Each structure stands twice: as C-alpha cells, then as structure tokens.
Amino acid sequence: MKHKTLGFIGAGNMASSLVGGLVADGYPARTIWVSDVDEAKLDALSLKFGVNVSGDNRQVARLAEILILAVKPQILREVAEGLADIVAETRPLVLSVAAGVAESSLDRWLGGDQALVRCMPNTPALVKSSATALHANGKTTSAQRSEAESILRAVGVTVWVEREEALDAVTAISGSGPAYFFLLMEAMENAAASLGLDPETARLLVQQTALGAARIAIESEEGPAQLRQRVTSPKGTTERAIGVFEERGLHEIVRDAVAAAHARAVELARELGA
C-alpha cells in the first residue's frame, strides 16, 4: 500500500501524539514531514520517531499530499494564509485539528474551494487510543474522507459527526477529556498521600485502577452506572465515597465544566472567524 506524504504544521502536543501513534502503527516515518518554529521540538520528534523535520512551513506544505494543520487556533489564520498559494497549486487534502475554527473560516484563509476535514482527536493518539470525531466540508470526495478517516483510525477510534457544530461538543468531551481523567488521577494520588501511601505505590495503584476501569467499561455490556454498582457493596466503603461525591455535586461540577469548555470552543469560533 502506498502511504501518502503527510505534512504536519506544528510539532506540539497534538501533532507529536499523532505522529507517534502513526509511526507506532507502521506509517513510514520517511513519508511524514513536520514543521514548527521551535527547533527543539522538531529535533525531539526527529530523534524519537525518525520523521523528517523542517523550520519552514512552506517546504512541508509543498511536499504534503495530506496537510495537517496542528497549530494553536489563534495563529491558524496567519499560518493558513501563509500557505494559501501553495495549497491552491498543489490541492492537498487539508486536515485541521484546531478547536473552534470553522471550516468556512479556514477555507477562506486558504483561498477558497479547498477540500477540508476538521478532526478533533485527543492526545492518547500517542498510544493508539485516541477518540476522534471528524467532519468534512462539501469539497471533499468520498475517497478523501476515507483517507482522513484511515489516518485517524490508525491511532484510535473515529466517528463522523453530521453537523460541524457538534465538534464543539466533541472538543469539550473527548478533546479536552483526557485532562479531566488526569485531574481525577492527580486528586486520587494526593488523597493516597494524605492516607500515608508512598508516591510510587499511589501512582501505580491509581494508574492501574484507571486502566482497569476503562477496559472493563469498554469490554462490558454494562454501562458505567451498573459497573459502579458492582463495586459498591451495601454499607461498604465505596458507598461512603460515592455519597461524598454526590453530596458535593460531582454530576453538576462535571456538567458545568464540560459546558464551560463547550462555550469556549464556540467563543473561539466567534473570535477567530472574522
């Protein structure tokens, strides 16, 4: 199978997770190019994964058959406008992972009439466990949609959303979501320390518990509420803990936190879409 040349613009957290996952899945490193303004990040990527790197976005854009825009939303316009002439000439499939940047804005910045797929992956892509939602604009062919999907499927699960606006909800759930679980893990490590467990033991127990809970949730027919009940013995320890979570409003906290992330994605689109 011929692998298309991938060009990543931006070598930060999300791009490096995608690159790492793709290389781990067997995507040939020699067909991956990455550019960034930060030479240290490029050196690290080249050393770790053997991919080609460049300080010149335009060089990478020229080589790319599939161009993946992975810079911060706030500088995407400047970056896209700087590549518009090349994109108009070479017509790569363009993927954007940016939160809150509408396809219509990106299309305009790239000069118009461009095949675009917006994706919202997450950093577990690095270990091929990403959850990605995709939405394509009207200029993409079904072959291009399949190409986009196969790249993201190589690093985890994928789902298409019918409405582009749904990507803002996806961003608030699975794009940002790994950080919510990490926060809970941090809090559990701190709680373990306050009960006298040493940090290494606490970390091991918390990590394996998170992994076990995620695996059983994926592999079981039962939903999270039922699985939780299986841990919760009547008059036991879990019941007491769950009581505290509920008394303090965990469901409301999570709902409000996700709503805040969603509102920020919508706000970004308004701020950056002009």
Ligand X SMILES: O=C(O)[C@@H]1CCC=N1
Footprint on this chain of ligand NDP (rule: CB under 6 A):
9-15, 35-38, 41, 57, 70-73, 75, 79, 97-99, 120-123, 175
Shortest CB 118 distance to ligand X, Å: 12
Shortest CB 101 distance to ligand NDP, Å: 7
Measured from the CB atom, the residue of 13 and 237 that comes closer to ligand X is 13
66 binds, among ligand X, ligand NDP, none (CB under 5 to 8 A by kind): none
* Residue 10 found at the interface with ligand X (CB under 6 A): no
Of all residues in the shown chain, the one whose CB is closest to ligand NDP is 12
The residue count for binding ligand X (CB under 6 A) is 4
Of all residues in the shown chain, the one whose CB is closest to ligand X is 175
Shortest CB 211 distance to ligand X, Å: 21
Nearest to residue 140, comparing CAs of 160, 166, 168?
160
Q: Which of residues 175-214 bind ligand X (CB under 6 A)?
A: 175-176
* Residue 96 found at the interface with ligand X (CB under 6 A): no
Binding site residues for NADP(+), as ranges?
9-14, 70-73
Q: Which of residues 158-177 bind ligand X (CB under 6 A)?
A: 171, 175-176
Nearest to residue 79, comparing CAs of 53, 99, 98?
98
88 binds, among ligand NDP, ligand X, none (CB under 5 to 8 A by kind): none
* Residue 130 found at the interface with ligand X (CB under 6 A): no
Binding site residues for NADPH, as ranges?
57
The dihedral through the CA atoms of 60, 77, 36, 260 has a sign that is negative
Q: What is the DSSP letter of 70?
A: -
Alpha-helix residue ranges (DSSP H) falling in the chain = 13-24, 39-49, 57-63, 73-81, 84-90, 103-109, 142-153, 166-170, 177-194, 199-219, 224-231, 237-247, 250-272
Shortest CB 75 distance to ligand NDP, Å: 5
> What is the rounded distance in angstroms from the CA atom of residue 114 to the CA atom of residue 57?
18
Shortest CB 107 distance to ligand NDP, Å: 16
71 binds, among ligand NDP, ligand X, none (CB under 5 to 8 A by kind): ligand NDP
Nearest to residue 101, comparing CAs of 129, 82, 79, 85?
79
Measured from the CB atom, the residue of 63 and 262 that comes closer to ligand X is 262
Q: Which one among 99, 115, 117, 131 touches ligand X, defined by CB under 6 A?
A: 99
- What single letter denotes the amino acid at residue 197? L
Structural tokens at position 135: 């939405």
> What is the rounded distance in angstroms from the CA atom of residue 147 to the CA atom of residue 106?
20
First vs last Cα of the chain: how many Å apart? 41
Asked if 248 contacts 163 with a C-beta cutoff of 8 angstroms, the reply is no
> What is the rounded distance in angstroms from the CA atom of residue 1 to the CA atom of residue 55?
29
- The contact set with ligand X (CB under 6 A) reads 99, 171, 175-176
